[in-house]
Amino acid sequence: MIQESRVVQETVTLGGELPVRRLGYGTAQLTGPGYWGPRGAAGDAVAVLRRAVERGVTLVDTADNYGPSIAEELVAEALHPYPEGLLIATKGGVVRTADNAWHVDGRPESLRAMCEASLRRLRLERIDLYQLHRLDPAVPMAEQLGTLDELRTEGKVGHIGLDTVTAEQLAAALELTEVVSVQNRYNLLDRASEPLLKLCEEHGIAFLPWFPLGNGELTGHPVCAEIAAAHGAKPGQIALAWLLHHSPVLCPTPGTGTLAHLEENLDAVDVRLSVSELSRLDALA
């Protein structure tokens, strides 16, 4: 018997003007362990990026500190001149000094310098979506967001996003400026950011969950594996499909450095979960 499945919205529009397909691609896995140094041959990374766009990806998410600088440079090498409709999102506000050494820096002069360096590496005149990678507790939020507002007024930034915030912080940020996206850790097993997701739904803000596959944990989860078998799919595809079914503002950008895994991830968009399957997955949190 065919079970009823939930309708899945295929696209989301950021800031009322940037339509993207909800399943995107993240570039962190193009760099080495701890997001430090290269992962392998640059040609392999270029091939993955180009194939992602060939498969219809319209949202590529990167950051200045992946590498550092390496991921942005690979994006430009692979995709510039960028095809119409492709949104390149990047992040600033964190300085790297070594493998797994992360230093938050939200000083206005630092944010401005980071943004302008990203513009050069990405070969862009405007970054359509520029995301504050972390709020700096040592700098007033108004100063950090004010700097991004200035960059937007100057035409260097199109829209502003936030990474790793609480619902309360997002609400405070919305009192200061327009925010079109957030990025927080969120997946089938980790839903601590559910209040933030609900706030995003209320305001039409895109939510780009990082670690959408639980840093690999969900690629072998037994419940995902059982449901995957019924669809002729892989467990990780079920975890990604659940995100697409769960909320229309969720825009997962799973990363990988291999073509085979890229194809597998992108095929998740074709998985349609039944109401009973969604209920089983919902109950895992």
Given 25, 35, 66, 186, which residue is catalytic? 66
186 is catalytic: no
SS in 3 state form for the chain? CCCCECCCCCEEEECCCEEEECCCEECHHHECHHHECECCCHHHHHHHHHHHHHCCCCEEECCCCCECCHHHHHHHHHHCCCCCCCEEEEEECEEEEECCEEEECCCHHHHHHHHHHHHHHHCCCCEEEEEECCCCCCCCHHHHHHHHHHHHHCCCEEEEEEECCCHHHHHHHHCCCCCCEEECECCCCCCCCHHHHHHHHHHCCEECCECCCHHHHHHHCHHHHHHHHHHCCCHHHHHHHHHHHHCCCECCCCECCCHHHHHHHHHHHHCCCEHHHHHHHHCCC
Q: Cite the active site residues.
A: 66
